[in-house]
Amino acid sequence: MNKRICFGVMIAIFFLALVAININPVPVDASIEDAHSEHAHASLERGNSIHAAKELDALIADDDRDDHAERGDHAGHGHQDAGDGLCPEHRVMEKNDALCQGSHLAELQAGEGMLVRLATPDVAAKAGVALVQPKVRAHFSGTDIPGRVKFNRDKLAMMTPLSPGIVQAVAVRPGDLVVWGDVLARVATPEIASLKAQFTAANARYLQTEATLQQEEELFSRGISSRRELQQARSEFKTAQSNRNQYRQQLLNYGLAEQNLESMLRGNANSNVLEILAPFSGTIVEVNTAIGEAVDSGKPLFTVAELSTLWVELSVPESRIYEIRVGMPIQATFKGIPDQLFEGRIFQVGARLDERSRTLKVLAEVDNAQHALKVGMFGNVRLLEKAGSSALTVPVAAVHTIDGATFVFIQDEPDLFELRRVRVGAHNDGNAMILAGLSQHERIVTRQGFALKSEVLKARLGASCADH
């Protein structure tokens, strides 16, 4: 009897528990939603665009469910009544709502767009959406062409002694700035000593014959000297003048300046020392000698270069030769100086292709006023359409393709983005040229734009307004 009573009591308790559960369901929705949001935040921080799209959808969907529960408008959100009016779910005009009217995106022209409203103002921040402004860059054509920096050979000098000798002094170091006429080195050479002596003697003879000629001209004018004596004096003077000029020119060819010759004639110059002088203002690039070294004629002792302009040698593929012309403006970027552009113009187009690489050598001169470029650097060169032409560029990741058309996302408000159609030009170095549809001061989405795009695509499949 007792066993039957106990068994009956247990059955009664079991049925009472079932009834209690059905009457008071466990409130699991809020906790699941919180856990789901935390999971979304962690996934987006890892930078996975596909997961970001799913989590962004979850954030929007959760908020939508809450709003619908409060309003009780599951039957179309009032769209049937609104027509082209305000979408009550997304709080934008329905005709401009990309989530309601996404099937019309292909009808937009460059510069036109539709709006995407997020669930709350903080959704974009949670999703890791990043924004940048477009940059203005020169209008370029096609892909980059490899280039290499070279000296401007119009402003490059290899300084060599013209006679064997011994280096007595070196006055400069690599990197020194020099101006025209600065002494780079002094070389003692027997040949220069002999030539200086011959020049000094020829100059003395020249002065003597000049004085004799003046005397004969005066005597002839008085009728004291004969014409024959005058002609002989003139002949001797011209011979002396020719010899003097010959030795003078030889000394100038050895690198002596006019002031050196004048000083030598006054007896102030060392007779066996040849000074090597800077031929123009520039920078000492190389020093290949030292004091006491015996040097031969033709051996380069110094390299002097003017570095404010340099040459960039382009290797143009055969398929792009038709784009090249003398005078064409270019822009160059280099790995060692990633944030700086160097501008210049093409001044020489080669006459023959390299047989192995099938490329054409083209030379451009670029400005290097800050001496940032170094000879031997490799970089990429852009061919510009015309001088002064520019266009906006954005990171390639900011450009999205929908139905064969190109779009970018522009932030209007923290929770409101415009899906704007744009016309895209060439791609270079991770950037896309925007030819139409964008202004410089607008803020575009460069990271997690794929998540926004996914919301638009899912809405077109019935996962947004039509789905509810």
Of these ranges, 12-26, 30-44, 275-289, 377-391, the one predicted with the greatest mean pLDDT is 275-289
Nearest to 171 by CA among 294, 277, 283: 277
Mean of pLDDT values over 193-200: 84
Q: How confident is the model at residue 58 (pLDDT cuts 50, 70, 90)?
A: low
> Coil, strand or helix: which one is 109?
coil
Q: Which residues of 222-241 are buried (b: 16+ CB within 10 A; e: fewer)?
A: eeebeeeebeebeebbeebe
Name, in order, each residue with C-beta under 8 angstroms of 122's C-beta and a sequence gap of 6 or more: 414
* CATH 2.40.30.170 residue ranges for the chain: 141-152+306-385
On the question of pLDDT at 437 being above 80, the answer is yes
Share of the chain above pLDDT 90, in %: 26
On the question of pLDDT at 249 being above 50, the answer is yes
pLDDT of the residue at 20: 46
pLDDT of the residue at 267: 67
CATH architecture of 159-303: Beta Barrel (2.40)
Angle 144-146-148 from CA coordinates, rounded to 5°: 140
CA 380 to CA 314: how far, in whole Å? 9
pLDDT of the residue at 435: 82
Element (H, E) at 81: helix 79-82
pLDDT of the residue at 44: 38
CA 421 to CA 406: how far, in whole Å? 6
> Coil, strand or helix: which one is 132?
strand
Residue of 455 and 350 predicted with greater confidence: 350
Residue of 326 and 19 predicted with greater confidence: 326
CA 366 to CA 346: how far, in whole Å? 9
> Coil, strand or helix: which one is 43?
helix
**What CATH code is assigned to 28-139+389-468?**
2.40.420.20
On the question of pLDDT at 226 being above 80, the answer is yes
- What are the pLDDT digits (tens) for 67-105? 444 444 433 444 444 446 777 777 777 777 777 777 788
Q: How confident is the model at residue 140 (pLDDT cuts 50, 70, 90)?
A: low
- The listed CATH number (1.20.120.80, 2.30.30.360, 2.40.30.170, 1.10.357.140) that belongs to domain 141-152+306-385: 2.40.30.170
- What are the pLDDT digits (tens) for 105-123? 888 888 888 888 887 778 7
Contact 344, 152 (CB under 8 A): no
Q: Which residues of 11-35 are buried (b: 16+ CB within 10 A; e: fewer)?
A: eeeeeeeeeeeeeeeeeeeeeebee
Contact 250, 202 (CB under 8 A): no
* CATH 2.40.50.100 residue ranges for the chain: 159-303
Residue 335 has a CB neighbour count (10 Å cut-off) of: 9
Mean of pLDDT values over 189-199: 84
pLDDT of the residue at 293: 92
CA 157 to CA 283: how far, in whole Å? 10
